[in-house]
Amino acid sequence: MGNVADELREVKRSRYAVAAVFAVHGAVTGSFATRVPWIQDHAGVSAGQLGIALAFPALGASVAMPLAGSVTHRFGARNALRGLIALWTMSLVLPSLAPNLLTLCLALFTYGATAGMADVAMNALGVEVENRLDRSIMSGLHGMWSAGALVGSAAGTLAAHLGSDARLHHVLAAAVLTLVGVLSCRWVLDLQPAEDEEPPPRFALPPRSALLIGAIGFCAVFAEGASLDWSAVYLREQLETSAGLAAACTTGFTLTMAVARIAGDRVVDRFGAVRTVRASGVLAVLGGLMIVAARQPAVAMAGFALMGLGIAVVVPLCFAAAGRSGSNPSLAIAGVATITYTSGLIAPSAIGMLAQATSLMVSFCLVTLLSCGLMAFAGVLRPGDRVAISRPDAAVADPRS
């Protein structure tokens, strides 16, 4: 009995440790995003050149993510996460040191590669902890990422307001976040491969199941990227609001997503992943319809809040489903992560190009249409739905499942 209690304590401790790592990962992203204007000036690049450079983090992540499984197999889950999160936090310094476009692209490629591998490792550990606790925690873990991003953004905003050198700011931030991340990894599960377990291929294409699950994530992240980058512009251009009110809309959207993710695990535990994502899709579509039909700023802001509420838990559930979809969780998670990173990369530019050809309202009609995919394809999450697995009769008795 004592062994069971000790194991439960270890798993619970690991849950909080992984949550801290998620917050550190988010804080690095927030710290970087707020200093992009300083980095642009320091590197002496134009807006167009900056756009090219900002594609390199996603490129680096896409190339490196499939390697995370072999790193974890070789070093064990704890050591792999410790090393990868340290590389990610320290890479924060690189972009601010870049003196020109070429070095900036190389720095951002490295930044994205380390981010992607750490992302896969921490999500794989999160899924393992969730399986051992037998209740949903992935939404809350991603909520901690959002909370970390908000903290990093707030610190970066303060540093920018004070006119501080981003090199000094990022060195200090990297030092603190590296220390927190490495110390947190002391308490994560020390998963080791079995003696007869064959190492995964160093690079392999994701399984078909990951592609289907990734399609759901693509729809959610597209809506997230569009709303984050274009909600303020939408209020300014379509509804002619003040700059302050437009900025408040983006902040409200971010806060809604963070709160919904932190609270989302209870909903998932009660209703399961499939029904939760279908209901989320309804909220996201309703929010999209309010946005495109809005004639008053309050209606559009409520629409963006509903959009955030609707898409908040989708990506965490995609990672959880990928981790339970086959014999190689790291490879499946890497596949889903690659698809979602790609969606986040193309969404802002796709919205901008469509808006230039038509209007922002038409662009958000596309976002609303993609949100319908959450309702239509939520069934692909069923193989990894713990509620459906533990209560198979519920899926038969209730047509909504």
How far is CA 96 from each of CA 70, 156, 192, 208, 377, rounded to the nearest angstrom? 31, 13, 37, 39, 41
The residue with tokens 């972009």 is 95
Average pLDDT over residues 147-169: 89
Q: Residue 297's pLDDT is what?
A: 93
Name the band, by pLDDT with cuts 50, 70 and 90, for residue 58: confident
Tell whether the model's pLDDT for residue 67 goes beyond 90: no
Q: Environment class of residue 260 by beta-carbon count within 10 Å: exposed (0-12), middle (13-18) or buried (19+)?
A: buried
The residue with tokens 């802002």 is 348
Instruction: Report the alpha-carbon distance of residue 346 to residue 276 in Å, rounded.
Output: 26
Q: Residue 300's pLDDT is what?
A: 95
Nearest to 145 by CA among 176, 109, 118: 118
Q: Residue 395's pLDDT is what?
A: 38
| pLDDT, tens only, 231-260 | 888 998 899 888 778 878 887 888 888 889
How far is CA 81 from each of CA 93, 116, 187, 221, 269, rounded to the nearest angstrom? 20, 12, 11, 24, 27
CA Rg, the chain, in Å? Answer: 21
pTM: 0.85
